Amino acid sequence: MNLPDLKEARKRTKKEVVEKQVDYSIAPSFLGKKYFLKTYGCQMNMHDSEEIRKYLELLGCKEVTTLEESDIVVLNTCAIRENAHDKVFGYLGRCKHLKREKPELLIALGGCMSQEEGVVSEILEKHPYVDVVFGTHNIHELPLLLVDAQNKKQTIQVYSIEGDVYENVKYSRDSKISAWVNIMYGCDKFCTYCIVPYTRGKQRSRRLEKIVAEVEELKKNGYMEVTLLGQNVNAYGKDLEYGYDFKDLLESVAKTQIPRIRFVTSHPWDFTDEMIEVIAKYDNVMPYIHLPLQSGSDAILKKMGRRYTKEEYIALFKKIKERIPECSITTDIIVGFPNETEEDFLETLDVVSTCGFDSAFTFIYSPREGTPASLIEDSISKEVKEARLQRLNALVNQCSLEKNKALEGKIVPVLVLGENEKDKNKIYGYTDTMKLININGSKDLIGRIVPVKVNEAKSFSLDGDALKESEMV
Ligand code: SAH
Ligand code: SF4
Ligand code: F3S
């Protein structure tokens, strides 16, 4: 048994990260078993689930779409806010119930929650029916742990380490059109409210050649789009000694000529003019940047450890828009950081109106055990925080609608990803600026970039008609 330790997880040394090749020689003792995989959290977790799926397939298991049908259930969890926890513990209740009827059911819990001391002690005390707990550093051990769990009682294997860089990882990807590509793991920013640097370890960049080779391979296999993933893509390379950074990586990936390149998440702190130039220069680097603001108040930004001011954020925003006018910019905002005053909150609203984001994810601050902010005594009530969130959402939605309305009547390039789930007569995709669009058009267009005329704009999506390729502007 290996238990998580948040103090250990905080450590950052100069230790060289190790590149690990993943071993795929796995005994197929689970042949024919059915597994159900449920994923919470960010794109990184979704991409990790593609790795988990691959291991389960290599074990000989088949994926099912409901918990009730499964022999193995794997929950890939998120720890970012308390409600993410609540959802998972709620779901574990359902698993427990099913296990009463089906005692051979194997339940595995992985992801960021597994890296938390509090969660694992709760599992140990109150959830003895959970068979396997694995963390973010040892996804590749899941098959071995499942085999162990068949014989033993409860297998808990979580490492609170700085982490390695994994190469040669195989994925069973969700899409054949658009793929996620890890460019770095972990985070060293330690924003005072955030659990990620503890659950994901130190920032470890993959080598540029390995990333480019992965993109080349995806392109060869017909992929139309890659999304480069990292908690701070702009800090890419800073932990390596090869002298290259994110602009160099982006340029090298652009030169592969894969049709579409995206990247998340950008931190305003590390965003350089050269990066803006590369985004502007290459047509296959999409004009879309997710640039979390978190707060518009300098006092709160300082307490959050974000290392930029309101003015610096707005200046960066304007610089991007001046150089790339069509660029859409989205953001993340937290309301109710401990002792946030009405004036602080009004500063946040002010940035939202000044910038006019294409869209924003908004959250109420959630204290995370082990983070510095969780120790601050807070004088702001839950009701005040909820009211602020509503006021913020009203403004954010109005901005999104305005941005989307400006596209009505325009022709936009869309990568078509599939059939619309609700209306089988329609297809859907994303514009270059990352707007979801539902389209009247033939299913033959799936996997292609096509011109679409925008008929109607809503706050969270667009509706349009597919046009002939010759009508692309
Ligand atoms: N690496 C990204 C964000 C990762 S987490 C970045 O730095 O921008 C995604 C979002 O969750 C964050 O941008 C933040 O807005 C939100 N978040 C993180 N910790 C939170 C907490 N303790 N309470 C509420 N929201 C939080
Ligand atoms: Fe969390 Fe900050 Fe790292 Fe983003 S940059 S993952 S908010 S610590
Ligand atoms: Fe959640 Fe971990 Fe992602 S905490 S947001 S799944 S990095």
The tens place of each residue's pLDDT in the chain, 473 residues long, gives 899 999 899 988 877 777 777 776 666 678 899 999 999 999 999 999 999 999 999 989 999 999 999 999 999 999 999 999 999 999 999 999 999 999 999 999 999 999 999 999 999 999 999 999 999 999 999 998 998 898 877 899 999 999 999 998 999 999 999 999 999 999 999 999 999 999 999 999 999 999 999 999 999 999 999 999 999 999 999 999 899 999 999 999 999 999 999 999 999 999 999 999 999 999 999 999 999 999 999 999 999 999 999 999 999 999 999 999 999 999 999 999 999 999 999 999 999 999 999 999 999 999 999 999 999 999 999 999 999 999 999 999 999 999 999 999 999 999 999 999 888 899 999 999 999 999 999 999 999 999 999 999 999 999 999 998 777 76
Query: What is the position in ligand 1's atom list of the atom closest to the CA of 292?
Result: 8
Retrieve residue 427's tokens: 């297809």
Residue nearest to atom 1 of ligand 3 (CA): 78
Closest CA to 145 of 121, 103, 114, 116: 114
C-alpha 341 to ligand 3 mean position (Å): 28
Q: How far away, in angstroms, is 298 Cα from ligand 1 center? A: 17
45 lines ligand 3 (CB under 6 A): yes
Between the CA of 184 and the centroid of ligand 2 the distance, in Å, is 13
From the alpha carbon of 306, which atom of ligand 2 is closest? 2
Q: Which of the ligands is closest to the CA of residue 291? A: 1
How do beta strands 34-39 and 19-21 pair?
unpaired
Whole-number Å distance, alpha carbon 377 to ligand 1 midpoint, is 20
Ligand 1 centroid to residue 294 C-alpha, Å: 8
Is the CB of 192 inside a 6 Å radius of any atom of ligand 2? Answer: no
Cβ(266) to ligand 1 under 6 A? Answer: no
Atom 2 in ligand 2: which residue has the minimum CA distance? 191
Ligand 2 contacts CB of residue 201 (under 6 A): no
231 lines ligand 2 (CB under 6 A): yes
420, 395 Cβ separation under 8 angstroms? no
The alpha-carbon radius of gyration of the chain (Å, integer) is 23
The rounded Å distance from CA 28 to ligand 3 centre is 31
The bridge status of strand 359-364 relative to strand 411-419 is unpaired
Ligand nearest to the CA of 79: 3
Pocket flag, ligand 1, residue 44 (CB < 6 Å) = no
* DSSP state, residue 26: -
189 C-beta closer than 6 A to ligand 2: yes
Q: Which residue has the tokens 């409901």?
A: 66
Buried b (16+ CB within 10 A) or exposed e, 332-350: ebbbbbbebeeebbebbbe
Angle formed at CA 355 by CA 350 and CA 360, multiple of 5 degrees:
90
In a 13 Å sphere around the CA of 30, the CA atoms on its Cβ side amount to 28
Atom index in ligand 2 nearest the CA of residue 267 equals 5
Pick the residue whose CA is nearest to atom 15 on ligand 1.
332
Nearest CA to ligand 3 atom 7: 196
